[in-house]
Structure 1
Amino acid sequence: MIRRIFFLILLILQFNLLQAGIVVLNGLTHSYKVETGKVYKGKIAIENTSSNPQSVKLFLQDFSYHSDGTINYTSLHTHNRTNGDWIKLSTNLITLKGKEKTEVFYEVAVPDKIAEPGSYWSVIIVEPVEDIQPNDQKTGVNITSVVRYAIQVITDYETDSAKPDLKFESVKIEKEAGRQTAKIAIANNGNLYCKPIASIEIYNRKTGEKIGIYSSLAMGLLPNTSKSFHIDLNKIPPNQYKAVIIATDEDENAFALNVELEIKND
């Protein structure tokens, strides 16, 4: 009986999730290679998956993240590589009918002078809001946020003169969802956005025999940010090993670190 109730609740939750919500259709990262004084055009494709009308507001914020999992959405000019002033939205508020799709356009007007080469960025927040409803208990009205999408708008300027500079912050072997996992914190101390992959080459500590190479998924890394790259090591028997950790970006720039790893039973 308990299983049936749980299954029924799960179906109800899934049904509600499918029946309501705003979806961004054309990706959460928009990248441009830019030149000074030029204007670039982009768009955000949005769908209302519910059967009811849905209002959506759009606005700009600065954005950063760190390997400990913290994500910061802040007002513009929080960091010196914001491009929020370059971006102009065609509208800040739309209302979609049930099942309706629409596109919101924006322009990126690159200034005539940019201080340094490299990546500049901000995010366009797409936030559905509930209809304004009277409040019987308090004067005024309530506006309740439902969900938020953050669309990164990354502009790369003079990329030949810029580069990422990847640094290893920490290496940990921990159990995650019952599996031994390497958690490698990598920071980008350079001035160019990149999408690195973290890999581990593992060797027998006594014989030097190569055990294997294991890799993470590629993840985007903005300048002055860091992320934790996870690698599944559950197939490696418990023991102490020598290892080489390598971070490689899409241009095949590689950054390496020699470490000793201990994989435990527990």
Structure 2
Amino acid sequence: MIMIKRILLLMFLMLQFSFLQAGIVVLNGLTHNYKVENGKVYKGKIAIENTGSKPQSVKIFLQDFAYQADGSISYTSIRTNNRTNGDWIKLNTSLITLKGKEKTEVFYEIKVPDQSINPGSYWSVIIVEPVEDIKPSDDKAGVNITSVVRYVIQVITDYETDQAKPDLKFESVKIEKEEGKQIAKIAISNNGNLYCKPTASIEIYNRKTGERLGSYTSIAMGLLPQTSKSFHIDISKVPPAQYKAVIIATDEDENAFALNVELEVKND
């Protein structure tokens, strides 16, 4: 039994060590925003570092991208999304190899069409993905575990924002217990044509007296047009009971969308 424990510990340390030896990191953010005009060209870059000690090849490519409040995420070919800007973006390379501890920059250009387009946000994503060299061995039995972490950089271009706006809608409100905490999960969709970064808040009132008992707020999250996300709010301090509540979604321009609900906080 002691020998088995030692073997398992050694395997764990070997796996942990292998993960520490290599890793690609994007250094300058995962959302790149541009306010654009017809016919103009905009330049951007992605700063990448190989934190490992061995050389690492990385492929870079474009895809369309969407997500929903149920957690589903879709990566599809360019032109799948009718608000894609993938055709506007040109990468200066699709494959690089970084030496151990090396940093580099991948550049891209955004060429906005020189013609009238509908106001609002257009987007796609640049995928940065390590290329793993698989070398099968016929003389050794065992399992080869490979962990690949790829980065998704959103490139969002906003056109004629004064003629576009987000339109936030509440899809659902539910309370679930997670890790001993009562969490209000508020699904919000953006039915408008402009990217925004809203927060969700919930104001809770005594059902009988109308007394305001408290206000709780989520973190801000980006919300692309025609997508949705679940905004989580910790309301563990609220005693079990039935309440009246006002749920408010507010974007960075102070546009507010409100919903009145009956809320039940359970004991279990």
TM-score of the two chains, using structure 1 as the length reference: 0.92
The alignment's C-alpha RMSD in Å is 2.4
Matched residue, 2:227: 225
Runs of 4+ that moved beyond 6 A: 2-11
Q: Structure 1's 207 and 161: CA in aligned 2 closer, same or farther, altered over 3 A?
A: same
2-structure distance, mates of 1:11, 1:134 = 22
Q: Distance in 2 between matches of 1:103 and 1:82?
A: 24
| 3-state SS, counterpart of residue 85 of structure 1 | helix
Q: SS of 2:19's equivalent?
A: helix
Q: Which of 67, 70, 87 lines up with 1:68 in the alignment?
A: 70
Equivalence for 1:248: 250
1:129 touches 1:145 (CA, 8 Å); kept in 2?
A: no
Partner of 1:46: 48
Q: For 2:244, what is the secondary structure of its paired residue?
A: strand
Contact 2:21 2:54 in 1 (8 A): no
Q: How many pairs were matched up?
A: 260
Quote the residue 1:197 is aligned against. Answer: 199
Counterpart in the other structure of 1:115: 117
One-letter identity of the residue aligned with 2:205: Y
User: For the Cα contact (< 8 Å) 1:127–1:145, is it kept in 2?
Assistant: no
**Do the aligned partners of 2:183 and 2:233 also contact (CA within 8 Å) in 1?**
yes
2:254 paired with 1:239: no
1:114-145 CA-to-partner distances (Å, cap 9, x unmatched) read 420000000000000113646769xxxxxx88
CA contact 1:183–1:230 (8 Å) conserved in 2? yes
Three-state SS of the structure 2 residue aligned to 1:23 is: strand
| Counterpart-to-counterpart distance in 1, 2:7 and 2:116 | 60
8 Å CA contact retained: 1:58, 1:92: yes
Unpaired runs of at least 5, structure 1:
138-143
Change (3 A) 1:251 1:109: same
Which segment drifts farther, 200-209 or 248-257? 200-209
Tell me by how many angstroms 1:147 deviates.
2.1
Q: Residue 142 of structure 2 aligns with which residue?
A: none
Offset at residue 79 of structure 1 (A): 1.3
1:12-55 CA-to-partner distances (Å, cap 9, x unmatched) read 66544333210000000000000010000000000001100000
Q: Deviations over 1:203-256 (max 9, x none)?
A: 011111111000000000000000000000111100000000000000000000
Answer yes or no: is 1:175 the counterpart of 2:177: yes
Comparing 108-117 with 42-51, greater Cα deviation is found at 108-117
Q: CA 1:13–1:228 in 2, change beyond 3 Å: closer, same or farther?
A: farther
Q: Residue 168 of structure 2: which of 163, 166, 172 is its match?
A: 166
1:235 partner amino acid: K
Contact 1:54–1:131 (8 Å) recurs in 2: no
Q: 1:249 is matched by which residue type in structure 2?
A: D
User: What is the distance in 1 between the residues matched to 2:55 and 2:193?
Assistant: 43
In structure 2, relative to structure 1, the CA distance for the partners of 1:210 and 1:46 (3 Å cut) is same
Secondary structure of the structure 1 residue equivalent to 2:45: strand
1:130 to 129, 132, 135: 132
Identity of aligned residues (%): 81
- Structure 2 unpaired stretches of 5+: 140-145
Question: For residue 102 of structure 2, what is the aligned residue in structure 1?
Answer: 100
Q: Distance in 1 between matches of 2:229 and 2:9?
A: 36
